[in-house]
Amino acid sequence: MFVGEGFDPVDGASRVATLSRAPGALFASIRDGGETVAAGMGGFSHGWASVHGMRTAQRSRGRGLAGRVLATLAQAARSRGIERIFLQVEATNAPALALYRRAGFTTAWTYSYWKKT
């Protein structure tokens, strides 16, 4: 999923390698016709769950798949006795922001990437 069509394969491979190093990392995915069409990763530490790398294949968007992945990761957190979840999302990613708002997330803070001026 992270290196599939519509995603930067170098960036995707780097993300998978980085995310896989997290202790207790859990990847959740949805498959359709033998192909992964949505995925995300949860990390669990110090009473918090973190959500990373949410991806949905371009042709599978708008079907609620990301919501199902997010719900699976939230259930995994609850089964570990964790009730606090955080994630980061770019302020310009309207579909992701809408998904997270529907799931009950609120903005705690904002951030910006460093850039040369």
Q: What is the pLDDT of residues 70-100, one digit of tens each?
A: 999 999 999 999 999 999 898 888 999 999 9
Cβ of 116: how many Cβ atoms within 10 Å? 3
* 84-87 β-sheet, strand order: 26-32, 35-45, 48-56, 84-87
Domain ranges across the chain: 9-102
Provide the whole-model pTM. 0.82
Identify the CATH homologous superfamily for domain 9-102: Gcn5-related N-acetyltransferase (GNAT) (3.40.630.30)
Residue 3 has pLDDT above 70, yes or no: no
Residue 21 has pLDDT above 60, yes or no: yes
